[in-house]
Chain A
């Protein structure tokens, strides 16, 4: 009964001083909003990452080249690029050769399902009559389809013969089929198209169509018509187009039961043997799961940092609440005196002002939560990740703002409760 009356009273006094109440709540609002926003974004990214991880295969290992630093061991964590201005470009001589990779496959045949290699030829357009489709042409090994979980909707992958011979056969996206063949997949299969890439023309025969999936991390600003999709040809075809033979990077799909992290280490040391004499580059191998790990680690660091800032905002906000409660109590000294004369026990007066402080904090908390969810959702949307506000952080925020209310409201409330009724009644 008294609690309800007190909440009503608190709302009244807030309504009477709207601007003051809002300013008081600001610290709480900012603190709670930033916590909720970062939690929402963090949640979305974590959900997205683990989603991507399962689609890309957590058991994949990416092997690449890394610039050696002078007089310094290159560490795996040192994925940063050397010093500024010291960047060297890996040349054909530095690349992994076909033999290296084949030997590696033989050595670790028990652990490897497939090797995925991608050789980029370039971006360009397929044109025919008035029709066009933007594409990016790259050569891939058969393992690529396995490693990237490509969803083939029509046709087939490359045959062994096509792979070995480097024939110009292509697997295109459904977008290309939409643009060039009116979406008629039957008509598209077996058709030959001309692709213009960097002023060179390539003609390929379509053998397969895959379903294009929007890349979740990119900003897709182009219209449906202009989307650039990958066109895959056999690796050898791309290499002959590029006049290259080595691989700058490849992905290893491991067999189930193989620990990707330790296998990445053995892979790295295996290839290190080949690069001892190379002054500029060293191989590096890292697993998908370690990437995810480092990403979540980074996220939790950011979350912690923002939480600390939010904590400071909440502390300042709490002090603001205490300050305004002290002002409010001084202003209402006569009211307190009157209430005491009417028979209010000290505990009732204390309760009244603690409730008022809690109400301020909880309203601030609720506004903060709403703002935080909005900000978090906007940020998550910008990153194309689904917004997932965390229920637990909302509940924790509410409890926490209540706690701030009690903690910073207690001193002023106690001061009010201990006022001498005679003095308080006489207060001008």
Chain B
């Protein structure tokens, strides 16, 4: 049986400052397909259009041209409030700078997407505890972000990304702000989630070594895909 397509992008273009002399085409026609359960890396130098692509994949932005289906939902034509709901239900973000909500404990942070997804209180707490256990933070439920180390914060953020059981986890340089040892730990966690939970993970990075660990590597340069090859997929 063929695996389900989670991301189906065709001819995606993104232009900024449209109609002005400064008009800039950042993405020049990108086709990407990601299947359920894949661990994909998108690699590119800064200025390659990597961030813009990530914003579109994450439904934070709409493409100027092209079609994008995320889990069979057409993002290209979605309205703002629909995009909010799509982000809430289908995408789990992991940011380089963690972006946990300050002065709000780990548990509440993980509950947040479920709060906006209108999950009831009891279920929310249960699910959040379960997720924090998966990432190994079960003994830090009531800790505030200020009281956690970088690696711990990122683990809470990963738990938060999985809260509504999204179609994809979109990780933007998740180890960028961490030292190599904790960075390793976070990467191991992604491998674990991929293998044990079957999560679809898209890793956006500029580091070829990290990309090498994934199953498939998509290289982007000057707004175009310049290469696509299999990664080692192994975990060192």
Residues of chain A at the chain B interface (Cβ within 8 Å): 1-2, 5, 9, 12-13, 16, 334-335, 337-348, 421-422, 425
Given contacts A339-B101, A343-B117, A348-B116, is CB(A421)–CB(B85) below 8 Å? no
Instruction: Report chain A residues within 8 Å CB of B81.
Output: 345-347
Given contacts A12-B103, A341-B87, A342-B93, is CB(A421)–CB(B160) below 8 Å? no
In the complex, 30 of the A-B residue pairs with CB atoms within 8 angstroms, ordered by the A residue number, are A1-B115, A1-B120, A2-B115, A12-B104, A13-B103, A16-B103, A335-B101, A337-B99, A339-B112, A339-B116, A340-B84, A340-B87, A341-B58, A341-B95, A342-B113, A342-B116, A343-B86, A343-B87, A343-B88, A343-B89, A343-B164, A344-B116, A345-B81, A345-B84, A345-B85, A348-B116, A422-B55, A425-B60, A425-B95, A425-B99
In chain B, positions 31-57 with a C-beta closer than 8 Å to chain A are: 55
B89 touches A341 (CB 8 A): no
**A2, A9, A12, A342: which contacts B87 (Cβ < 8 A)?**
A342
Instruction: Report chain B residues within 8 Å CB of A12.
Output: 103-104
Instruction: Report chain A residues within 8 Å CB of B58.
Output: 341
Instruction: Report chain B residues within 8 Å CB of A342.
Output: 87-88, 93, 112-113, 116, 160
Greatest chain A CB density within 10 A among B99, B117, B120 is at B99
Q: In the assembly, what is the distance between CA of A424 and CA of B8, in Å?
A: 27
**B55, B100, B113, B120: which contacts A343 (Cβ < 8 A)?**
B113
A344 touches B95 (CB 8 A): no
Q: Smallest CB–CB gap between B101 and chain A, Å?
A: 6
B60 touches A345 (CB 8 A): no
Answer whether residue B173 sits at the interface, using C-beta atoms and an 8 A cutoff: no
Instruction: Report chain A residues within 8 Å CB of B115.
Output: 1-2, 5
Greatest chain B CB density within 10 A among A337, A338, A347, A422 is at A338
Q: Can you list, as one digit per residue, whether each of B22-34 has a CB less than 8 Å from chain A (1) or not (0)? A: 0000000000000
B116 touches A421 (CB 8 A): no
**A9, A13, A343: which contacts B116 (Cβ < 8 A)?**
A343
Residue of B nearest to A5 (CB): B115
A338 touches B99 (CB 8 A): yes
**B60, B112, B121, B160: which contacts A1 (Cβ < 8 A)?**
B121
Q: Smallest CB–CB gap between B167 and chain A, Å?
A: 13
Residue of A nearest to B52 (CB): A422
Instruction: Report chain B residues within 8 Å CB of A335.
Output: 101-102
Instruction: Report chain A residues within 8 Å CB of B116.
Output: 339, 342-345, 348
Answer whether residue B72 sits at the interface, using C-beta atoms and an 8 A cutoff: no
Q: In the assembly, what is the distance between CA of A338 and CA of B101, in Å?
A: 8
A422 touches B61 (CB 8 A): yes
B60 touches A341 (CB 8 A): yes
Instruction: Report chain B residues within 8 Å CB of A337.
Output: 99
Answer whether residue B80 sits at the interface, using C-beta atoms and an 8 A cutoff: yes
Sample of 7 further A-B pairs with CB below 8 A, known A337-B99, A422-B55: A1-B115, A13-B103, A339-B112, A340-B84, A343-B113, A345-B116, A422-B60
Q: Smallest CB–CB gap between B157 and chain A, Å?
A: 10
In chain B, positions 97-145 with a C-beta closer than 8 Å to chain A are: 99-104, 112-113, 115-118, 120-121
Greatest chain A CB density within 10 A among B85, B115, B118, B164 is at B115
* 9 nearest A-B pairs in the assembled complex, by CB-CB distance: A343-B88, A345-B84, A338-B99, A343-B87, A342-B113, A343-B116, A344-B116, A341-B93, A421-B60
Residue of B nearest to A348 (CB): B116
Instruction: Report chain A residues within 8 Å CB of B88.
Output: 342-344
Instruction: Report chain A residues within 8 Å CB of B84.
Output: 340, 343-346
